[in-house]
């Protein structure tokens, strides 16, 4: 099954975002899954204030990961993310049964922020973005 993970991590500490992306990706790879894409959207204002772990958040660091994996792997990634206190929100959506049927869906996404550059967030603050070592070659 092809899935898309959209994750919102607490802003401020970029190493937390890197670690969560690495752990989620490693979970997929360790269970015979394939990562099809990893995109960093950067830090943006949340649509509405969100309270998570007794803290109210107004901003979050977004990233998207597309992966092919069995249903059990997707469930394990969801469980791992739900237990992580650094996460604000996440959603895993089934895109298709296999990559061949949805090939255009991956290339048609817009609004990409390259992993190796500095992005301008919605509030005008900028921050260095990253590329985990296991992702090299997947992003632009």
Which tokens go with 22?
């690495």
Asked if residues 118 and 126 have their Cβ atoms less than 8 Å apart, the reply is yes
Q: Is 19 part of any domain?
A: yes
How much is the pLDDT for 115? 55
For residue 98, what is the domain's CATH number? 3.30.70.60
Question: What's the CA gap between 79 and 77, in Å, rounded?
Answer: 5
Q: Is 61 part of any domain?
A: yes
How much is the pLDDT for 122? 44
SS3 (DSSP) at 110: coil
Domain that holds residue 68: 2-134
The number of domains in the chain is 1
What are the start-end ranges of the E strands in 1-140? 2-9, 34-52, 55-68, 87-96, 118-120, 126-128
Q: Is 139 part of any domain?
A: no
Q: Is 34 part of any domain?
A: yes
Q: Is 58 part of any domain?
A: yes
Q: Is 140 part of any domain?
A: no
How much is the pLDDT for 129? 43
Asked if residues 39 and 112 have their Cβ atoms less than 8 Å apart, the reply is yes
For the chain (140 residues), the mean pLDDT of every run of 10, in chain order, is 93 87 94 91 91 88 93 93 93 80 51 52 43 48
- How many Å from the N-terminal Cα to the C-terminal Cα in the chain? 24
């Amino acid at each position: 099954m092809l899935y898309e993970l959209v994750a919102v991590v607490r802003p401020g500490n970029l190493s937390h975002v890197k670690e969560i992306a690495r752990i989620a990706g490693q979970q997929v790879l360790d269970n015979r899954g394939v990562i099809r894409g990893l995109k960093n959207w950067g830090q943006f204002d949340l649509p509405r204030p969100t309270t998570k772990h007794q803290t109210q958040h107004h901003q979050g660091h977004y990233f998207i990961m597309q992966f092919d994996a069995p249903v059990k792997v997707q469930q394990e990634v969801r469980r791992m993310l739900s237990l992580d206190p650094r996460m604000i929100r996440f959603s895993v959506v089934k895109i298709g049964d296999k990559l061949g049927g949805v090939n255009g869906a991956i290339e048609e996404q817009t609004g990409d922020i390259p992993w190796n550059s500095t992005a301008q967030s919605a509030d005008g603050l900028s921050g260095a973005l990253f590329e985990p070592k296991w992702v090299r070659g997947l992003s632009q």
